[in-house]
Amino acid sequence: MVMSRVAVLPEIRVPADRPFVLEEVEVPPLTTGAVLGRMVLAGVCGTDVHILHGKVPVRTPAVLGHENVARVEAIGGEDEIRDVTGKVVQVGDLITWLPKSCMQCYNCTILGDPSKCEKRVGYGGWVVPADQFPYLVGGFSEYVWILPGSDLVVLPPDLAPEAVVLGDALRIMVHGLERIGGLAYGDTVVVQGSGAVGLMGAILARDAGAGQVIVIGAPAARLELAREYGADAVIDITQVPATERIQRVLALTNGRGADVVFECAGVPAAVAEGLEMVRVNGKYMIAGHYGDAGTVSLNPHLINKKQITITGVWSASNRHFLRGLHLLRKIPLEKLVTHRFPLAQINEAVLAAERQETLKAVIVP
């Protein structure tokens, strides 16, 4: 009998309450097509912090952890199983697995947008509660029990697990770039926010042909990373007030404003500010508001007068992750994983993430 340590979230509590409880549970026998993964890395995401603040609903008790890399330990049954690209999955493979869209609902079939599937299920809080079979349904665990029919991706052997964890943030930005129709070569891109999504947005913009990338955020350590990964200019929001931030962007763009602004901050005020930074006929893409952070007053005249196109982007579908793999392979992203915690220190890990001490923390069980 295989036992697994697992960090269970019995109910929604803030990180300061040390909400996770370490348990030891028996790994249920695999049914046909199920996969047992031994966790290699699980990323701690801003979404996990939102969950602990009650801003993103999950089914408790929960096993969180949705940015996962595991080694295939066993496969249930005799039949071959394949990943989303058709590759046969084998014991020993390094894998990740993506939120599953039903491909049958209105949004999946008529709209053709699986990222907005009405019945989407993801590991790390959404599949089934942690007190129901198969219990090990998130990455903050030693083992994960992956349900038959899940959307697995067999990872190329030359890909660092750290990079894959960052793929969760990257795929959202790949999706966003697709929605705005990509960049024009030489575009100036402003990225509001210097968390994982913001940094992956900046790296993606560079790779997609941006001529100038400006990252606005905090703290200083994250902005330093942004520079290291190709940002031409950074603006520290703790040092530079909003009106001056707008002036700086205008100064860096011959007074015209940026061609494209990515909102990756999740702060409503950033939207009002960002619209001031977009040029005439420019684009504004909202990617950071995964939790409902409330409202903001903004001036529609700006949108009208400057003919700004505003686009929202929510999560991503499999193709965005798969397209993002090319970037994950090309650029060494390991340095963006700034903190590693053992499973027993999951409470410390989410606290560090909440305090923004980490760019990306991972749990190494």
Q: Which of 108, 177, 278, 337 touches Zn ion by CB under 5 A? A: 108
Closer residue to Zn ion in complex, CB, 136/197: 197
The separation between the first and the last C-alpha atoms of the chain, rounded to the nearest angstrom, is 19
Q: Which of 45, 52, 200, 287 touches Zn ion by CB under 5 A? A: 45
Judged by CB under 5 A, the number of residues near Zn ion is 9
Q: Which of 84, 105, 221, 272 touches Zn ion by CB under 5 A? A: 105
Closer residue to Zn ion in complex, CB, 41/278: 41
We find the least distance from the C-beta atom of residue 121 to Zn ion, in angstroms, to be 10
We find the least distance from the C-beta atom of residue 226 to Zn ion, in angstroms, to be 19
Residue ranges of the alpha helices (H) in the chain? 46-52, 106-109, 161-179, 196-207, 220-228, 242-251, 268-277, 300-306, 318-330, 346-354
Does 128 sit near Zn ion (CB under 5 A)? Answer: no
Residue 303's SS3 state is helix
- Rounded Cα gap, residues 310 and 172, in angstroms: 16
Q: Which of 4, 34, 47, 164 touches Zn ion by CB under 5 A? A: 47
Q: Reading across the β-sheet that carries 188-192, which strands appear in turn?
A: 233-236, 212-217, 188-192, 258-263, 278-286, 309-312
We find the least distance from the C-beta atom of residue 355 to Zn ion, in angstroms, to be 18
Closer residue to Zn ion in complex, CB, 12/105: 105
Does 102 sit near Zn ion (CB under 5 A)? Answer: yes
Q: Which of 117, 152, 204, 223 touches Zn ion by CB under 5 A? A: 117
Q: Are 165 and 360 in contact (CB under 8 A)?
A: yes
Does 188 sit near Zn ion (CB under 5 A)? Answer: no
Does 168 sit near Zn ion (CB under 5 A)? Answer: yes
Residue 260's SS3 state is strand
- Rounded Cα gap, residues 339 and 337, in angstroms: 6
Return the residues of window 229-288 that contact Zn ion according to CB under 5 A: none
Q: Which residues of 249-282 are buried (b: 16+ CB within 10 A; e: fewer)?
A: bbebbeeebbbbbbbbbbbbebbebbbbbbbeeb
Name the token pair of 115.
Answer: 């990222």
Closer residue to Zn ion in complex, CB, 191/316: 316
Residue 162's SS3 state is helix
Residue 84's SS3 state is coil
Closer residue to Zn ion in complex, CB, 47/194: 47
Residue type present at position 353: A
Closer residue to Zn ion in complex, CB, 138/274: 138
Closer residue to Zn ion in complex, CB, 244/334: 334
We find the least distance from the C-beta atom of residue 1 to Zn ion, in angstroms, to be 32
We find the least distance from the C-beta atom of residue 81 to Zn ion, in angstroms, to be 21
We find the least distance from the C-beta atom of residue 26 to Zn ion, in angstroms, to be 28
We find the least distance from the C-beta atom of residue 111 to Zn ion, in angstroms, to be 9
- Rounded Cα gap, residues 68 and 168, in angstroms: 9
We find the least distance from the C-beta atom of residue 60 to Zn ion, in angstroms, to be 18
Closer residue to Zn ion in complex, CB, 257/365: 365
Stretch that binds Zn ion, among 42-50, 129-137, 226-234, 284-292 (CB under 5 A): 42-50
Does 151 sit near Zn ion (CB under 5 A)? Answer: no
Give 188's contacts (C-beta < 8 A, 6+ positions apart): 210, 211, 212, 213, 214, 252, 253, 258, 259, 260
Name the token pair of 89.
Answer: 């999955």
Return the residues of window 56-85 that contact Zn ion according to CB under 5 A: 67
Q: Are 259 and 283 in contact (CB under 8 A)?
A: yes
Site string for Zn ion, 2-41 (x = CB under 5 A): ----------------------------------------
Residue ranges binding Zn ion (CB under 5 A): 45, 47, 67, 101-102, 105, 108, 117, 168
